[in-house]
A = this chain, B = another copy of it.
């Protein structure tokens, strides 16, 4: 009875409605209705086009217009015409607006700090929060190309290497493995994709090409908090699509029998096991796929 999944889920909903709802309500402390505060925050976070903000917050054009007017009359924002298309309008925060935005940010940060500081096991709590947030937002996970040397990419790769080191008996040292050149994992020869759940990178996959009709899939990784959401398949499918678009007809990849989930996934996704095709010391299972 106390293990009933539905009951547990609903308990969770109640808890976050109460607690996170209370956090939201604190925005009212700055003497501005929530709607206006949300618009100011969206603008502060870099959403500059009126249509974009309206869309993001799901507002009617009339309501949006009035909210902008009220922020404008408070002297927090300035509206100007988009130079490309004078019908569209662009929001800019005035310095007072910047300050007000920062005040909201500080409020949120402070609340987060309050909750986290009281916890002896903040790391466990955050891990759980990441997992829940990723699961709830699964339909909004986006795959975006990235430079494999960008911070988010290095974050993913670092986690990936750490995990390999934990899984392999002999550990893992990337300098002993054949680490692709960044240029080989970027257009036009290749690609490096990151899966974003909101602002957290939760997975990656690389396509290493050299312009020929064979390319290699590398660095397929899904964060522990994002497993079970079918993200690896989604990343693989995107990589394959990109490979096809780049004229690749044969894909290769190497992996290791200590990663049985990965091996099983490849087997179930149309990959054929083949003989070793490189002398990298880490992999012991090799696959190919004809596109």
- Please encode chain A, from 140 to 156, with 1 for each CB lying within 8 Å of some chain B CB and 0 for all others: 00000000000110010
Of the listed stretches A5-13, A182-190, A236-244, A272-280, chain B binds A5-13
Contact pick for A132, options B12, B121, B137, B152, CB 8 Å: B12
Given the known inter-chain contacts A119-B135, A121-B227, A124-B228, please indicate yes or no for A7 contacting B129, CB distance below 8 A: no
Expressed in whole angstroms, the minimum distance between the Cβ of A196 and any Cβ of chain B is 10
Chain B residue contacts of A133, Cβ below 8 A: 11-12, 14-16
Cβ of A55 under 8 Å from chain B: no
Asked if A128 is at the interface of the complex by the 8 Å CB criterion, the answer is yes
Query: With an 8 A cutoff between CB atoms, is A109 at the interface?
Result: yes
Contact: B19 with A115, CB < 8 Å?
Answer: no
Indicate if A256 sits at the interface (CB-CB under 8 A). no
The contact of A5 among B122, B137, B151, B152, by CB within 8 Å, is B122
Does A16 contact B8, Cβ atoms closer than 8 Å? Answer: no
Closest to A3 in B: B155
Q: Would you call B137 and A15 a contact (CB within 8 A)? A: yes
Within 8 A of B (CB), among A94-127: 108-109, 112-113, 115-116, 118-122, 124-127
Does residue A20 face the partner (Cβ distance < 8 Å to B)?
A: yes
**A9 interface neighbour in B5, B121, B129, B152, Cβ under 8 Å:** B129
Q: Which residues of B contact A199 (CB under 8 A)?
A: 2, 7, 11
Q: How far is the CB of A284 from chain B (nearest CB, A)?
A: 27
Residue A245 lies at the interface, judged by CB distance under 8 Å to chain B: no
Question: A interface vs B, CB < 8 Å?
Answer: 1-2, 5-20, 23-24, 108-109, 112-113, 115-116, 118-122, 124-138, 151-152, 155, 198-201, 227-229
Extra pairs beyond A11-B200, A18-B136 (13, CB < 8 Å): A6-B113, A6-B116, A8-B130, A13-B23, A15-B136, A15-B198, A16-B20, A19-B137, A119-B228, A119-B229, A120-B229, A125-B131, A128-B129
Provide 23 A-B residue pairs closer than 8 Å at the C-beta atoms, listed in order of the A residue: A2-B152, A2-B199, A5-B112, A7-B199, A8-B126, A8-B200, A9-B129, A11-B200, A12-B130, A12-B133, A13-B20, A13-B108, A15-B137, A16-B16, A16-B133, A19-B136, A20-B20, A115-B135, A120-B228, A121-B228, A124-B131, A124-B228, A129-B132
